[in-house]
């Protein structure tokens, strides 16, 4: 029996439950005594506390730790299903935040580690914390799983004086319109009053349905995405549609040229006049039913034209086509 609770402090990005716990629990379990359960997640302390009577009973019945290998982050498919059932936004009335987290409520995580969709609901960080504190009953949480956010929108906060746009494997710096189609910007930047660059994007599509669009860092999801992923860090969104349309945007900081070269093998940062640290904005886009794609490493244009590793700086327009 543990006589004192153990307390571990984990980094915010670490997920506390998994093999780490198995190592901690194994000696107690092997000795045939009660085992400990884990409570807490994310950037909160992980407290190891003595097992409840129910947990002890379950352990003795199963003869093994029932959740030893379960990580608190649900598998991809479970996350996708949880996002989809709430319409890609927090289902609490008046919220709709797209920055979703995964709440285990039936049974709660500290009673049994599981990733059963029926006992989980996608909530924003704020409502997840409230749910953890007991703000909602199980019945209310089950009800929330049937609601869909009315309006799903968000904003990128990652503002800098300069941005390196990485669109379809090509690089655009101090170029207000990196990509233009038939005279209209597809990817563009503008400066706010403080000189910070803001990004606007319009999805190219052959569908008549609405698509996600972003104007000066504010984005709104319209139409019917098949998936919309938007981690609470707010550094990335990725949206897909049934006809194969795809858009993803991701902001990340780069501190020196070598880092840029490692991330993008086709880049030649030693020849580019960039000011470091630099914020990159990586944009990928696929237009369903057409060969047009701004992929991870190259741009594919109709007529089997491909471009990769090109660098445009101080141009009005980087790539114009159509």
Q: Is 95 in the site for Zn ion (CB under 5 A)?
A: yes
Token pair of 211 as six digits: 């698509």
User: Of 99 and 272, which CB lies nearer to Zn ion in the complex structure?
Assistant: 99
Name which position in 36, 92, 228, 285 contacts Zn ion (CB under 5 A): 92
The least distance separating Zn ion from the CB of residue 116, rounded to whole angstroms, comes to 22
Taking CB under 5 A as the criterion, the residue among 28, 82, 90, 212 binding Zn ion is 90
Please report the DSSP string for 6-74 in residue order: EEE---TT---SSHHHHHHHHHHHHTTS--EEEE--TTS-EEEEEPPHHHHHHHHHHSS-TTTT--SSP
Q: Which residue, 97 or 175, is less far from Zn ion as judged by CB?
A: 97
**Residues pairing with 281 in the sheet:** 165, 251
Site for Zn ion in 127-166 (CB under 5 A): 127
Residue nearest to Zn ion (CB): 90
Are residues 36 and 48 in contact, defined by beta-carbon separation less than 8 angstroms? yes
CB-based burial of residue 282 (10 Å sphere; 0-12 exposed, 13-18 middle, 19+ buried)? buried
Supply the minimum distance, in Å, between the C-beta of residue 281 and Zn ion.
27
Q: Does 122 bind Zn ion (CB under 5 A)?
A: no
The total number of residues shown for the chain amounts to 322
Task: With beta carbons less than 8 A apart as the criterion, state whether 296 and 155 touch.
Answer: no
Which range in 58-66, 83-91, 181-189, 311-319 contacts Zn ion by CB under 5 A? 83-91
Of 55-63, 116-124, 229-237, 239-247: span binding Zn ion (CB under 5 A) = 116-124
Residue 86, interface with Zn ion (CB under 5 A)?
no
Contact positions vs Zn ion (CB under 5 A): 90, 92, 95, 97, 124, 127
């Amino acid at each position: 029996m543990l006589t004192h609770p153990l307390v571990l402090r984990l980094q915010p990005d670490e997920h506390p439950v998994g093999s780490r716990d198995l190592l901690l629990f194994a000696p107690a379990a092997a000795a045939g005594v009660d085992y400990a359960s884990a409570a807490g997640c994310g950037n909160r302390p992980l407290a190891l506390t003595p097992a409840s009577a129910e947990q002890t009973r379950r352990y003795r019945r199963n003869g093994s730790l029932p959740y030893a290998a379960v990580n608190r982050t649900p598998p991809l498919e479970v996350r996708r299903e949880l996002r989809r059932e709430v319409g890609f936004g927090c289902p609490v009335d008046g919220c709709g935040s797209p920055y979703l987290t995964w709440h285990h409520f039936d049974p709660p995580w500290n009673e049994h580690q599981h990733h059963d969709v029926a006992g989980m609901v996608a909530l924003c960080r704020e409502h997840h914390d409230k749910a953890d504190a007991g703000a909602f009953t199980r019945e209310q949480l089950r009800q929330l799983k049937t609601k869909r956010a009315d309006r799903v929108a968000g904003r990128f906060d990652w503002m800098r004086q300069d941005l390196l746009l990485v669109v379809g494997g090509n690089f655009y710096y101090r170029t207000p319109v990196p990509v233009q189609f038939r005279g209209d910007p597809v990817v563009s930047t503008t400066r706010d009053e403080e000189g910070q660059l803001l990004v606007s994007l319009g999805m190219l599509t052959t569908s008549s349905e609405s698509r996600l669009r972003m104007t000066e860092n504010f984005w709104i999801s319209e139409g019917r995405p098949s998936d919309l992923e938007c981690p609470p860090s707010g550094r990335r969104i990725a949206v897909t549609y049934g006809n194969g349309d795809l858009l993803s945007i991701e902001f990340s900081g780069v501190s020196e040229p070598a880092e840029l070269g490692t991330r993008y093998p086709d880049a030649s940062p030693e020849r580019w006049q960039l000011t470091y640290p630099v914020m990159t904005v990586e944009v990928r886009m696929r237009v369903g039913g057409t060969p047009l794609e701004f992929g991870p490493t190259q741009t594919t244009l109709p007529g089997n034209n491909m471009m990769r590793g090109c660098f445009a700086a101080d141009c009005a327009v980087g790539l114009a086509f159509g």
